[in-house]
Structure 1
Amino acid sequence: MIGMGLTDKIMASLFGFKPVRRVIVDSGVMEGALEIARNSHPREFAALLEGHREGDTLHVTGLIFLPSKTSDEGAVMDVLMLPPFTGAAGSVHSHPGPSNAPSPADIRFFSSNGIFHMIIAYPYRRETVAAYTRSGVPVAFEVAD
């Protein structure tokens, strides 16, 4: 179950909101993010993840790029530039080192920008990708080929 905090429980009881229990990331999205991470090294890159719910499944289908500033220590997106009704479900960004653990700044960003977030660590392979809920709890996902 993804991100079932107090707010989500209230929304579920008031509006019938059902939690996401499964996340599927399209292979093209995964491969694209990995390639961008490799090409951006040693700078971080950041993008939003486009997706939609299908019952209790979140299906991540695309990358959304916004104006951003990047360095070897961080990446900052201007999320206020996101057009309304875009379908942003979360984010993906790279870490130029071997850790794919979220920093406190990452978790602050996660908490207000969707429900599913991926961090890709160097050397930017599928095995170095970790995913997290909006509160920074590790979460499993599948890559659809």
Structure 2
Amino acid sequence: DPDTTAAIEAQSGTPVTYADLTRPIRGDDPAFVIAAGTEKERVIGHAAAADTAARLAARTGVDYESRTHAHGPADSEAAVLELLVAATAGAALVAPQERAESFEDELADQWVTHLFVGSPGAPRFDDGIPEDLAAMVFVDVQPEPGYEDLL
């Protein structure tokens, strides 16, 4: 939309700080919007995002020693959830590596402990599940057979 583009370009490039806030951030203020089509649009508030991240971190064992990775597009729900959970728990986020021969090698080389899986679904592990992988978190997709030990 040209009008939206023009409005954004007219804004200052200076970062927004807490001093710029007109009021404190509230728990129901939007933290992010999931817009995967008009039928799935959802606004997630700060309190709900923090609560979900803390519960999922506790349930899957993500902590400051964990290394997380999202399988799928960077703008997917899985990637957003990975970021929230890892940041809440103090875990390391592992970025995709182009030098690995396979996805299994990438996870093993980077000591990934928690894999967040969204669309297009779970990767195939032809040579077995990497040793360090402790849990797979399926986001908006059905878990596939063979991963029961990691759910």
Provide the TM-score with structure 1 as the length reference.
0.29
* Greater Rg over alpha carbons, structure: 2
More helix by share: 2
Q: Which of structures 1 and 2 has the larger relative contact order (alpha carbons within 8 angstroms, sep 6+)?
A: 1
Provide the TM-score with structure 2 as the length reference.
0.28
